[in-house]
Structure 1
Amino acid sequence: MSALFNFKSLLLVIIFLICTCTYVRAQFPSVIDKNKTGILGVFWKFARIGERLSPYVSLCCMIMAFDLILSLVK
């Protein structure tokens, strides 16, 4: 099933995108910063969300990890 049709999977993909874009921007800022507009500007926005809301993003990562662990145990 595609992540677009499952809300939990869609949230997981968005959280992973935020974390990945934030990490890439920290390591290679020129890759993300040169694309602030257009369709690739979405990655810059994800990186900005990860930088500004990092405590909330990390809390969401921990909640999703805990939920995944519980779903594997069932």
Structure 2
Amino acid sequence: MSALFNFQSLLLVILLFICTCAYTRSVFPALMDKHKHGFLGVFWKAARIGERLSPYVSICCIVMAISRLIG
């Protein structure tokens, strides 16, 4: 089943995308700072969300992990 049709899988993909972009920006900061507009701006915005909302993102990761283990 595609992640677009399953809401829990869609949330998991979005959450992993935010975490990956935030980690990539912390390791390679010059990679995401060059492109803030257009399609590549989505990666920069996801990294910014991951940085600014990191406590909430980490709580969501824990909740998602528990729900995946139980279900």
In the alignment, structure 2 segments of 5+ residues that lack a partner are none
* Structure 2 counterpart of 1:63, one-letter code: V
Following superposition, the deviation at residue 33 of structure 1 comes to 1.1
**Over 3 Å off, 4+ runs:** none
Following superposition, the deviation at residue 27 of structure 1 comes to 0.2
In the alignment, structure 1 segments of 5+ residues that lack a partner are none
Following superposition, the deviation at residue 38 of structure 1 comes to 0.2
* Structure 2 counterpart of 1:13, one-letter code: V
Q: Cα RMSD (Å) of the superposition?
A: 0.5
Percent identity of equivalent pairs: 66
Which whole-Å CA distance do the structure 1 matches of 2:6 and 2:32 have between them?
28
Aligned length: 71
Name the TM-score, length of structure 1 as normaliser. 0.93
Name the TM-score, length of structure 2 as normaliser. 0.97
